[in-house]
Amino acid sequence: MVARSSQFTAVPLFDAHLRFTRLPVGPAMLADYPDTDAFLTATAKALPAALEDFRYAAAFLRSYSRKSEATFRGYRNEVERLLLWCWTVAEKSVVELKRPDLEQYFDFVHAPPRHWVASAVADRFHARNGEYLHNPSWRPFVVKISKADRRAQLERGAAPVDGGSHSLSHEAMKLCYSALSAFYDYLVDEGYAFGNPIPAIRKQSPYLLKGATRKSIKRLSDLQWECLLASAEAAADGSPDSERALFVVALLKTLYLRVSELSDRPNWSPVWRHFWRDAEGNQWLQVLGKGNKIRDISVPSALFPYIERYRAMRQASEPGFSDGAVLVAKTRGSGGLTSRQLRRVVQQVFDAAYTAMCEQGFSTDAEALREATTHWLRHTGASIDIATRPLKHMADDLGHASMGTTDQVYIQSDMKERAQSGKKRTV
């Protein structure tokens, strides 16, 4: 058994989606993971049931890996945290936990000790000589700091953010309850657990808040978007990198795309034939969205010039270019870009816009731009268009299963106007 201490002595149990899905089933899956295998062996000496916990957890994650990479990643993180806590803190099997144990676990997860928290995202494993060794910098939790603070930290060479202040958000706690409830349902179905205590605990949870009134959509202001687009257009000089950056930024904002919907994935590769016209001549883009749902997004005429100039550059620079070519291509090598690579492309445009805005005297707006992420482009496009397009049309293009989601996220009382009217009240 791993002893309790103020040092984190556990290791990651499950690899990233792509490698995990290629591993053999059963004990052989750890053949190339000596650190994880050694940790599990040492834990099982004092707690033999840990081996069965691990086996059932791996089978559960394999079943959910078929749904989507995002679902796998969220469920893997929650199940892995539970197992590590069970073995190294509670010193029990996952099926031995009673309601008081799990209530203590959710208290632990909501505010984990600092030695369980990293100051930055780290790879779980490092490949070396055909084996995957655990990364000592990895932790089950990562403290989230703003992009601006992280950038300033790097520029000043400041010390990392203290992980002791880390606390999971309301949304993160919702995922925790949901994932572990699904896990216990699976264990019950497989005959390994005798019941699922999570729903009863969730009903009494102090961490799931209701009726929050402050809702804010993280989006670019009109000025920030104008400067961002202008910077991308000014930089586009016909080179593959600059034309690609302009195309990506224009698509993400105008078509309300999630970055994953433009990325190359194991089960979907966006290609040029996914742009198509219907019988009436309307242009559409077919994408694979959340939940493995294919949808068609209407393409406005104003986007055509950006599509055509990038396509023309690709045709001129790529022999044999066809409708089967990847939509957003690497400038070195072959194939499409991953989500991480797309974010880097967008970040370069953000950086250029920041510099341009500072030079133009918009320092306050420029500083706010440093917080922006790729997903802000989706919110920016939707927030602008929601005032002029029918709600049903917006929901379909955004990929929301319900118009209620679109309404809840994008149609809100203007808090500035609400504050002004509120000042007129009398005592």
332 and 190 within one domain: no
Evaluate whether residue 213 is within a structural domain: no
Model pLDDT, residue 146 = 56
Model pLDDT, residue 150 = 55
245 and 181 within one domain: no
Evaluate whether residue 211 is within a structural domain: no
Take residue 398 and report the two structure tokens written for it.
């955004």
**Tens of pLDDT, residues 115-166:** 999 988 899 999 999 999 999 999 999 987 655 555 655 565 555 545 445 7
Cα–Cα distance for residue pair 328/354, rounded to 1 Å? 24
Cα–Cα distance for residue pair 208/174, rounded to 1 Å? 7
Model pLDDT, residue 98 = 94
CA dihedral 236, 240, 241, 247 (to 10 degrees): 60
Evaluate whether residue 8 is within a structural domain: no
Among 318-332, 355-369, 387-401, 402-416, the range scoring the smallest mean pLDDT is 402-416
Take residue 236 and report the two structure tokens written for it.
């586009």
Residue 379: C-alpha distances to residues 80, 223, 385 (Å): 32, 15, 10
Cα–Cα distance for residue pair 257/129, rounded to 1 Å? 39
Cα–Cα distance for residue pair 3/10, rounded to 1 Å? 10
Total of domains in the chain = 2
List the domain range (segments joined by +) for residue 183: 17-151+160-203
Of the pLDDT bands very low, low, confident and very high (cuts 50, 70, 90), residue 292 is confident
**Tens of pLDDT, residues 197-213:** 999 999 998 888 765 44
**3-state DSSP helix/strand/coil % of the chain, to nearest 5:** 55, 5, 35
Of the pLDDT bands very low, low, confident and very high (cuts 50, 70, 90), residue 409 is confident
Assess contact for 228 and 249: CB atoms under 8 A. yes
Query: Whole-number mean pLDDT of the chain?
Result: 88
CATH of the domain at 247: 1.10.443.10
88 and 35 within one domain: yes
Coil vs helix vs strand at 258: coil
Model pLDDT, residue 156 = 57
| Residue 214, strand partner residues | none
In terms of pLDDT, which residue wins out, 209 or 61? 61
Assess contact for 78 and 176: CB atoms under 8 A. yes
62 and 170 within one domain: yes
257 and 167 within one domain: no
Model pLDDT, residue 124 = 95
Cα–Cα distance for residue pair 220/169, rounded to 1 Å? 23
Cα–Cα distance for residue pair 411/383, rounded to 1 Å? 8
Coil vs helix vs strand at 82: helix
164 and 62 within one domain: yes
Assess contact for 205 and 180: CB atoms under 8 A. no
